[in-house]
Structure 1
Amino acid sequence: MSNPHDRELPAPMFEGAQEREVANVASLLRQSAAATPDEAALREESGDTTYAELDERSNRAANAFAALGVGVGDRIAIVSANNHYFMELVFAAAKLGAIAAPINTRLSAVEIEKLLSTAEPKVLFVGAEATEQTPPEGAVPSLAVTLTPQSYDELIATADATDPGYEASADETAILLFSSGTTGLPKGIPLNGRNLSTSLYGSGDRLKVEGHQISMAPVPFFHVTGLTSALGTIGKGGTLLLKMPTGPKDLMRLLIEEKVTNAVGVPTLIQMLTQLPEAKGADWSHLQYFGYGGAPMPLPVIKAAREILGCELVQGYGLTETSAAVTVLMPEDHVPAPGREKQVGSVGRPLEGVEIKIVDPATREEVAVGERGEVWVRSSRVTPGYWNRPEENSRSFTDDRWFATGDGGSVDEEGYLYLHDRIKDMIVTGAENVYPAEVESVITGHPDVSEVAVIGIPSPKWGESPYAIIVPRPGTTPDADEIIAWTREQIAHYKAPVGITFTDVLPRNPNGKLLKRVLRDQYADVQAPQ
């Protein structure tokens, strides 16, 4: 690793116009390493990794894995925080024609083992922070080797530094990501070269960063937003800042000290930044764009962000299945003309090459402009289908390649998309998606619980947090804190409820269907603890 340095290069593209033809993930690094070998690709607390170093270390890893029998189409699972190991593994897999399979580090050991059984990797890398989630030896029969940072460094130290030279086609799977499942196992979502290339470079929007790009995405790379942000920065020869903030004040410090040019985060993060007293007098001159997603930004927060941070705002809407954003609310849309304030509450218009329509979930027929229904997407950004889930594929993808997102929305006369009720009842907590059905299934297993409903409540820190309404089992006196702690032993902490209310009965319609909209109204004033 080299020492940090501060150097400016001609401006690459932040989003949009393609400066180079990128056929696959390996090409992103190969071309940048050839163009700017001494430039910092990754910046961590321990120092910088140059493009030449990242290229060489990923070559060594690829050749070491090949010696272990890893070949085209084999999976390399990654359970790690954002660091140079993560990026090396992604590019090592690409240079072999293998498939990088990042897994959420916040999942429990049991959940991780289930996902590994689905992915059937030959190699598993477990970061230092995730050692407790390592599956027992023999639990995943497909594994040839399980690596820690130390054993990984030892493995690649003497490996050949020559690029294996594999050139993946556009249709070959490059990355296997996972989404939270409503019930049972989460779905594997394969993204191929065409999906990722279109997502990274296929937009007709031109948002230029002046000077050398320094990107910060304090979002885990096992999420599509974090991973595509990282890949996009590498593909454009920028510097990817891997220092993770510990809170809003630390985020502000990093943005300013590291001269970050573009960042990505959730709206609550931007709001917290604007509320820091010291933010008003700070030097934000390097920050040019702040991208956000997950929810619209209130007008007062937009105004404060533009006045205090002085940067342009860009909102994106998308899913893992769509390789991140398919619609964008552009900077000019955040400064609405009189009579156009409504569109600030949208998630923008479709990107180039993206088709969106709203359909009736029951009939699957397209509805009229302005009417609500389910959001459907068609684009080369969309995954070819779920990993070994034929029944789910038949439900979610049509023969003519429309993808049913499960999100409720409507489109206005100018093509702006508005999200409404979540058809899948998904709760968005920070950058994590939580499905109430999964949480309810776990809580129902508690001996003191007869029935449970989980809804999202406002959270000052995370946007939303899960909240449980429980009907106790007759003859029991359940304790809320004990149930929360018990739930956290079964599933990831962020999925567990932050609070519980006990009730005698849950609201249902005459057919017995649970009325969650009634619960949302009843608990509309409840907020998650700070």
Structure 2
Amino acid sequence: MTTISSVIRTHAAERPDAVALVCGAQSLTWAELHARSNRVADALRRVGVGFGDRVAFLDKNGLEYFELLFATAKLGAVLVAVNFRLTAREVGFIVNDAEARVFVVGAEFLPLAAELAGALETVHTLLVIGGDAAQPSYAAWRDGGADVDPDVTIRGSDVAFQFYSSGTTGDPKGVLLSHDNVFGLLPTSSQKWGVDAGSVNLIALPLFHVGGGGWAMVGMFHGCKSVVVRDVDPTGLIRVIGEHRISHAFLVPVLLHFMQQVPAAATGDFSSLELIVYGASPISESVLAGAVRRMGCKFAQAYGLTETTGAIVTLPPEDHDPQGPHRHRLRAAGKPHDGVELKIVAPDSGAEMPVGVPGEIWTRSQQNMVGYWRNAEGTAAAINVDGWLRTGDIGYFDDDGYVYIHDRVKDMIISGGENIYPAEVENILMKHPAVADAAVIGVPSDVWGESPFAVVVARPGATVDPQELQAFARQHLAKFKVPVGVSVVAALPRTPTGKLLKRELRAPFWHGRERAVS
């Protein structure tokens, strides 16, 4: 198996009657999933979708995502899963930027799609999952296709995924991941995390995120049963783990925190769990120790970026003993995977830093993205001519080869596993008539790791009402991007050249903490 399409073909041939996916009361065997994706591929081809075309998907996790994923993979097209937490403005930008020709929307998000009527520039086919008789039905459209594999030749260098990750300019960027990128990780996942054909894999994170869509492919690659969770809540996750005998899961720290707080934690059945991989944001020692104690399984931390096709560093289970001799390693991200090069460099010069001295983390491996969709300038800024990708994270190596994350070169805020780019929020705040200048920074949060906070300057003669400004932001931004607080100051600290000194704004909030990230 070297491509996404070869995964479904292989397992449909070798284990046709084994269950591939479960979501609520629905389930599909590998043979059924193969047949459905064939029908979707044929239906897509009938409406003009071919090699290299984009198909947009806006819904919560469900079986339809995988039908579309394998269908587009068989055609050489690309599925673009859109963050369902975004506003209509944000969704419209992504769908248009991707030049999607088909837009598949869950019935729950029809009101949002209606807001985009007339604003979608390339979409010619809109399909609704679970809609009523008055809506164009995805299921009827799918079932009208022929169960015939399109048998298009796919190369490893062809694009497999297009995940959107906002840039520091405020505009989302389409991260292009090839089949070769994806298969730089998948074959090693059994060794790293113990997933095999007999595992039961939990897909709880949103599939528009590399932590959801990428982790899903780990289980699919090995041919195990995957249990898809549509609406994530701590009590529900605990129930699903016991009911389906989950063995492996990827979760963000905030979920591990909440799963310890609900009453179901005391009575939940965690006996089937073998390993929980966590990542996407830092975890506190208290949350980790509590999870280890409550769930009784092994834990591993994964560090990576969307641009590195997910995990490139793992902190293995043996380094997760809060009482052990290497307890300090709980603060580490881990060690690089085989085939992954990491180096720590001075952000300004690129000179390599010695052990123990912080610098920007650069990486080079098969997992480095192809680039950003139609953004040569952004790609060149991210990956140099020698193939080194700048992560934007500040870290250092210890004497044993473990990498520690210390700070960020970029201003990105990671809140509950969601990436928030301050420039996008600042651009919205600056549209308010009372705001003359704005800076958004990450401040500590015991629940989310960190949260966005706004520091603004009022226009002469105007008054900024913090609550009113937050309400204004909610009209234009997804909820998780809205600042949790607003401070009004006379002026923002800047260099003589006008560069904003966000470190000075952050310092009071992070005073007394060991690291400048949560």
Verify same fold: TM over 0.5. yes
Q: 2:474 aligns with which of 460, 463, 488?
A: 488
Q: Quick check: 1:67 aligned with 2:52?
A: no
3-state SS of paired residue (1:194): helix
Q: Quick check: 1:103 aligned with 2:82?
A: yes
**Is the Cα contact below 8 Å between 2:170 and 2:423 reproduced in 1?**
no
Taking the TM superposition and a 5 Å limit, the aligned residue runs for 1:165-314 are 165-202=151-188, 205-209=191-195, 212-276=198-262, 278-314=264-300
Name the residue aligned to 2:445: 459
Offset, 1:38: 2.1
Matched residues in 2 for 1:485 and 1:246: separation? 26
Count, aligned residues = 505
Q: 2:126 aligns with which of 138, 141, 146?
A: 146
Greater displacement, 368-377 / 347-356: 368-377
Taking the TM superposition and a 5 Å limit, the aligned residue runs for 1:6-25 are 22-25=1-4
Matched residues in 2 for 1:197 and 1:312: separation? 25
Structure 1 length-normalised TM:
0.90
Matched residues in 1 for 2:83 and 2:232: separation? 19
Offset, 1:499: 1.7
Q: 2:332 aligns with which of 335, 338, 346?
A: 346
Structure 2 length-normalised TM:
0.92
3-state SS of paired residue (1:438): helix
Q: Quick check: 1:427 aligned with 2:413?
A: yes
1:203-260 C-alpha deviation (Å, 9 max, x unpaired): 5834335883222132110111100111221222222222345532222222222221
**Is the Cα contact below 8 Å between 2:260 and 2:291 reproduced in 1?**
yes
Name the residue aligned to 2:347: 361
3-state SS of paired residue (1:365): coil
Matched residues in 1 for 2:192 and 2:302: separation? 15
Greater displacement, 322-331 / 473-482: 473-482
Name the residue aligned to 2:106: 127
Paired letter, 1:420: H
Paired letter, 1:69: G
Offset, 1:130: 2.0
Matched residues in 2 for 1:470 and 1:206: separation? 46
3-state SS of paired residue (2:191): coil
3-state SS of paired residue (1:126): strand
**Is the Cα contact below 8 Å between 1:200 and 1:228 reproduced in 2?**
no
**Is the Cα contact below 8 Å between 1:203 and 1:352 reproduced in 2?**
no
Name the residue aligned to 2:94: 115
3-state SS of paired residue (2:146): coil
Q: 1:470 aligns with which of 444, 453, 456?
A: 456
**Is the Cα contact below 8 Å between 1:63 and 1:164 reproduced in 2?**
yes
**Is the Cα contact below 8 Å between 1:95 and 1:165 reproduced in 2?**
yes
Gaps of 5+ in 2: 132-136, 513-518
Greater displacement, 189-198 / 129-138: 129-138
Offset, 1:117: 2.1
1:343-395 C-alpha deviation (Å, 9 max, x unpaired): 22111000011000011111112111211111111000111211111111222
Matched residues in 1 for 2:102 and 2:197: separation? 39
Matched residues in 1 for 2:91 and 2:475: separation? 14
Matched residues in 1 for 2:418 and 2:192: separation? 29
Q: Quick check: 1:409 aligned with 2:389?
A: no
Greater displacement, 344-353 / 498-507: 498-507
Matched residues in 1 for 2:370 and 2:175: separation? 9
C-alpha spacing 1:86/1:523, structure 2 compared with 1 (3 Å) = same
**Is the Cα contact below 8 Å between 1:374 and 1:409 reproduced in 2?**
yes
C-alpha spacing 1:268/1:137, structure 2 compared with 1 (3 Å) = closer
Matched residues in 2 for 1:365 and 1:205: separation? 33
3-state SS of paired residue (1:382): coil
Greater displacement, 104-113 / 342-351: 104-113
Matched residues in 2 for 1:393 and 1:355: separation? 19
**Is the Cα contact below 8 Å between 1:61 and 1:156 reproduced in 2?**
yes
Name the residue aligned to 1:519: 505
Matched residues in 2 for 1:315 and 1:409: separation? 16
Matched residues in 2 for 1:247 and 1:99: separation? 30
Name the residue aligned to 2:28: 49
Offset, 1:512: 4.7
C-alpha spacing 1:237/1:204, structure 2 compared with 1 (3 Å) = closer
Offset, 1:426: 0.9
Matched residues in 2 for 1:411 and 1:165: separation? 47
Q: What is the RMSD computed on CA atoms of the aligned residues?
A: 2.2
C-alpha spacing 1:358/1:313, structure 2 compared with 1 (3 Å) = same
Matched residues in 2 for 1:156 and 1:227: separation? 22
3-state SS of paired residue (2:50): coil
3-state SS of paired residue (2:64): helix
3-state SS of paired residue (2:474): helix
Paired letter, 2:278: Y
C-alpha spacing 1:282/1:132, structure 2 compared with 1 (3 Å) = closer
Name the residue aligned to 2:516: none
Matched residues in 1 for 2:196 and 2:73: separation? 30
Matched residues in 2 for 1:117 and 1:162: separation? 30
**Is the Cα contact below 8 Å between 1:124 and 1:146 reproduced in 2?**
yes
**Is the Cα contact below 8 Å between 2:196 and 2:222 reproduced in 1?**
no
Offset, 1:58: 0.8
Greater displacement, 514-523 / 340-349: 514-523
3-state SS of paired residue (1:366): coil
**Is the Cα contact below 8 Å between 2:170 and 2:421 reproduced in 1?**
no
1:155-207 C-alpha deviation (Å, 9 max, x unpaired): 12221111112231101111111101222421111111101111222358343
3-state SS of paired residue (1:457): strand
**Is the Cα contact below 8 Å between 1:40 and 1:50 reproduced in 2?**
yes
Matched residues in 1 for 2:356 and 2:323: separation? 21
Q: State percent identity of aligned pairs.
A: 39
**Is the Cα contact below 8 Å between 2:170 and 2:422 reproduced in 1?**
no
